[in-house]
Amino acid sequence: MTISIANNTPAPPAPQGMPWLRLAFRPFYLGAAVLAALIVPLWVAIFLGAVSWQPTPAPMLWHAHEMLFGFAIAVIVGFLMTAGKTWTGLATPRGPALGALFLLWLSARVASLVAPYPVFAVLDLALLPIVGLVFLRLLMRSRNWRNMPLALILLLLTLVNLTFHLSANGVIDLDPMRSLYAALGFVVIIECVMAGRVVPFFTTSALPNIKIVTLPWLDRTALAATVVGLALWVTNWHAGLASITLALAFALNLVRQWRWHPLATLGRPILWILHAAHLWLSLGLGLLALAQMGVVTTSLGVHALGVGATGGLILGMMTRTARGHTGRPLTADAPEVAIYALIMLAALLRVLLPLLAPSFYVSGLVASAAAWSAAFLIYLWQYTPWLVSARQDGKDG
C-alpha cells in the first residue's frame, strides 16, 4: 500500500509582466551598454574633427556629463534598485513604473543630442531625485540604516547635476567642469564603499582556501582619506593638502586590496576584473595626487578613475549580477574574458600610453575608444538575449 502525503506549501506566484521590466538591472544595464558603445567613438570623432555635428552642451562638457550622468548613473540605478530588493525585502519599481524611469533616462540621452538646452536640462534632472527618494523610502521602511549613505549620495548627485546645468548656461559663476569632477568623486566613493564589501566577499566565496580578515579601521580610514582627498581636489582649495591626502588614499586603498589576496584570483576572470578595477581606483587617486603637484595632467587621473576603475568595476558587476539574476552560473566564459581584457586595454591605452609616449596620444585615444566600444558591444551580444528573457530557473526577477 502506497501512502502519498500532499504538499500543502503554496507554489510561488508565476512571474508577471515583460521579463525585461521585472528588475531594474535589465533595462538600465542594456541602456548603459548601448550608450557606452556609441558615445565614446562619437566623442573621439568630434574631438578629432572627423564629425562636425555638435551636441547640445559644449562637446567636452557633453562627453564628461554623459559618461557620468548617462552611463555611470544608469548602472548605479540599475544596481541599487535591484540590490535594494535583496537588502530590504521590499518590492522595487517594475513593469510600467520601471519602464517610465527608463524612458525618462533615455529621453534625456536623446535630448542631449538634439533638443534645446532647457529641454535637455529638465529631462536630465528628473531621474535622480525620483530614484533617490524611492531608494530612501525603501531603506527607511526596512530600517536599513547601513545603506542610507548611498541614498543620500544619489540626492547629492542631483544637486551636483543642477549645479552643472546652471554653470554650463552661465546662470552661476562656476566652472562646470568642477561639478563634473564632483560627480566623478561621488561615483568613486560609491565604488570604494561597494568594492570594500563585495570584493573580499566574492573572493572568499569563490576561493574557500583564502582567508580574508577585514580590518574595519583600515576600511574606514581608506574611505575617509578618499572622501577628503577628492573633496579637496574638487574644490581646488589647497593643492598641497589635496596631494598629501590623495597620496594617503592611494596607499591605504592599495594596502586594503593587498589583504584581499588579489594574486590568488588570477585564474578566475570574474574575480580578477574586480581586483584590477580596484587597482585602477588606487592608481587614479595617486595620479590625481601627482597632478596637484604639476607632475602629470589631471586628465590622466580622471581617466584612470573613469575608464579603468569605473569601466572595469561596472563591467565586472554588470556581468556578475546579470548572470546571477538571470539564473546562470557565476563564471566567465570567452565573451566575458574578452570584455574584461578589452576594458583593461582601453584604460592602459588612455592613461599609460599618453604618460609614457605622448607622441602617440591620438593613436592611443582612437585605439582606447575602439577597445572600450568593443567591450560593450560584446556585452550586448552576449547579454541582450538574457536580459530580455525570463530567468532560466523560472523564478521572478
Give the tens place of pLDDT for each residue, 39-62: 999 999 999 999 888 888 889 999
**What whole-number distance in Å separates Cα of residue 238 and Cα of residue 262?**
34
**Burial of residue 2, with CB atoms counted within 10 A of its CB: 0-12 exposed, 13-18 middle, 19 or more buried:** exposed
CB 360 within 8 A of CB 299: no
Q: What is the pLDDT of residue 10?
A: 47
**pLDDT of 255 over the 70 cut:** yes
**Residues above pLDDT 70, as percent of the chain:** 96
pLDDT in tens, 84-110: 998 999 999 999 999 999 999 999 999
Q: What is the pLDDT of residue 16?
A: 66
* Least confident segment among 248-257, 271-280, 362-371, 388-397: 388-397
pLDDT bucket at 160, cuts 50 / 70 / 90: very high
pLDDT bucket at 283, cuts 50 / 70 / 90: very high
Other beta carbons within 10 Å of 117 = 14
CB 125 within 8 A of CB 165: yes
pLDDT bucket at 214, cuts 50 / 70 / 90: confident
What residue segments make up the domains of the chain, in order of their start? Answer: 18-174, 191-389
The mean of the pLDDT values for the chain is: 92
Where on the phi/psi map is residue 261: left (φ > 0), alpha (ψ -120 to 50), or beta? Answer: left
Q: What is the pLDDT of residue 13?
A: 52
Q: What is the pLDDT of residue 52?
A: 85
Which is nearest to 185 in space by CA: 281, 251, 254? 281
At position 80, the amino acid (one-letter code) is L
More confident of the two residues 154 and 397: 154
The dihedral through the CA atoms of 221, 227, 230, 233 has a sign that is: negative
